[in-house]
Amino acid sequence: MTANLAGDVTMRYVDLPASEPRDAVPVLLLHGFGTNFGMNWRAAGWPQALGGAGLRVLGPDLRGHGGSDKPLDDASYLPERFIGDLLGLLDELAVDRVDVVGYSMGSRLAWELALTASDRVRRAVLGGFGPVNAFAEADLSAPGAGDTPFDQVFRTVAELQGNDAAALAACARGQAARPFVGEPRPVGVPLLLVSGARDTLATGAEDLAARCAGAHVEIPGRDHATAVSAWTFRQAVVDFLVG
């Protein structure tokens, strides 16, 4: 499905009803940089795991990604623009409150959503995310040209089918324009952080969880690319949301 939510940017999203209808808070899944709902979540088995737990899944392709529009100006990718899209989507679907589950950049946005609209978020899960600068040392005027960890990520995702390297570069600059700061913290939204033990982009996740009185689950042996599909991750989230 698609919705025209903010200006000219059309968002593609899926709305998967619960397999066994029950009165539960829907789950909003926010994918990472350079991927999309299908690749980040569906292929990793998430809709099935959440649907099997009786949960409705809302899965947008974030602006600049997947089947959604891909503006080319940096300002279109400031975090608040993504939050505007997400609140627009919830309004469009007449959903009062969600549990939000993010991965990587999606976790940063999940944090922002919980911070700016805590009345719309019941619980939040930040996967593959820590209070480190994901763009450290990278020259964002030419992402992918250097040799920093972000350059390597950029090169991998820029060549994925359906991605637009220019839009992703603008997205990186828009995100980097608002560096993550762990203060202030979302109020009244229980947090769960989940990360692979070898995920360098999630460095400090345990400390961030502790500062927010949240929980942290570490997945042994996994890195940033492989933690998202781990059974342990899905199970920890189902327990956190349904328990």
What residue spans of the chain are helical by DSSP H?
37, 46-52, 79-92, 105-116, 149-158, 165-176, 205-211, 231-242
Q: How far apart are CA 159 and CA 60, in angstroms?
A: 21
As measured in angstroms, the least distance from the Cβ of 179 to other proteins is 27
The yes or no reply on residue 87 touching other proteins (CB under 8 A) is no
Cα angle for residues 162, 164, 169 (degrees, 5° grid): 145
Q: Which of 4, 7, 178, 231 binds other proteins (CB under 8 A)?
A: 231
The yes or no reply on residue 51 touching other proteins (CB under 8 A) is no
Residue 152 CB contacts under 8 Å (≥ 6 apart), including other chains: none
Residue among 194 and 227 whose Cβ is closer to other proteins:
227
Residue 216 CB contacts under 8 Å (≥ 6 apart), including other chains: 192, 193, 194, 195, 205, 206, 209, 210
Q: Which of 35, 68, 104, 195 binds other proteins (CB under 8 A)?
A: 35
Both structure tokens of 207: 């400390």
Query: Taking contact as CB under 8 A, which single stretch among the options 6-14, 97-105, 147-155, 226-234 is the one that binds other proteins?
Result: 226-234
**Residues of this chain, 153-192, that bind other proteins according to CB under 8 A:** 156, 160-161
The yes or no reply on residue 228 touching other proteins (CB under 8 A) is yes
The yes or no reply on residue 19 touching other proteins (CB under 8 A) is no
For 86, other C-beta atoms within 10 Å of its C-beta total 27
The yes or no reply on residue 197 touching other proteins (CB under 8 A) is no
The yes or no reply on residue 62 touching other proteins (CB under 8 A) is no
Residues that bind other proteins (CB under 8 A): 35, 39-40, 43-45, 48-49, 156, 160-161, 225-231
